[in-house]
Each structure stands twice: as structure tokens, then as C-alpha cells.
């Protein structure tokens, strides 16, 4: 092994900080899906239509 090579003492710390920063910056699909405006309107509209169609047999 090369005796001149000296690894950085804080290498693992720096890499793990980058890994944690990357994990914190990711947005899960569920969070994106629920926060997307058109999806929210579609879900609200679908729920409204479902409620109307379920209420029709009562009358």
C-alpha cells in the first residue's frame, strides 16, 4: 500500500452529512401527489360526485 496516502479523518462525517442532506431534500411520491393542485381538485371533485351519486337512491 502507498505509505504517502493518508485518508481524511473526517471523510465519513462529510459523506454522511451529504447523505443526510440528500435524504432531507427528497420529497416522497405521496407528499408530491397530495400537494399537487390538480390532484387535489380531482380528489375533491371525485368525492363530491361520489357523495351525490350515493345520496341519489335516498331520494
Provide the residue range defining the domain that includes 33. 9-55
pTM: 0.42
Q: Is residue 4 in some structural domain?
A: no
Per the structure, how many domains does the chain have?
1
Distance CA 14, CA 19 (A): 9
- State the average pLDDT for the chain: 85
DSSP the chain: --TT----TTHHHHHHHHHHHHHHH---HHHHHHH-HHHHHHHHHHHHHHHHHHHGGG-
Q: Is residue 43 in some structural domain?
A: yes
Least confident of 2-11, 23-32, 34-43, 44-53: 2-11
Q: Is residue 2 in some structural domain?
A: no
User: Sorting pLDDT into bands at 50, 70 and 90, what band is 27?
Assistant: confident
Amino acid at each position: 500500500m502507498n505509505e504517502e496516502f493518508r485518508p481524511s479523518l473526517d471523510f465519513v462525517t462529510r459523506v454522511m452529512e451529504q447523505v443526510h442532506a440528500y435524504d432531507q431534500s427528497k420529497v416522497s411520491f405521496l407528499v408530491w401527489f397530495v400537494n399537487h393542485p390538480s390532484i387535489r381538485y380531482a380528489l375533491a371533485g371525485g368525492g363530491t360526485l361520489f357523495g351525490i351519486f350515493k345520496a341519489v337512491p335516498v331520494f
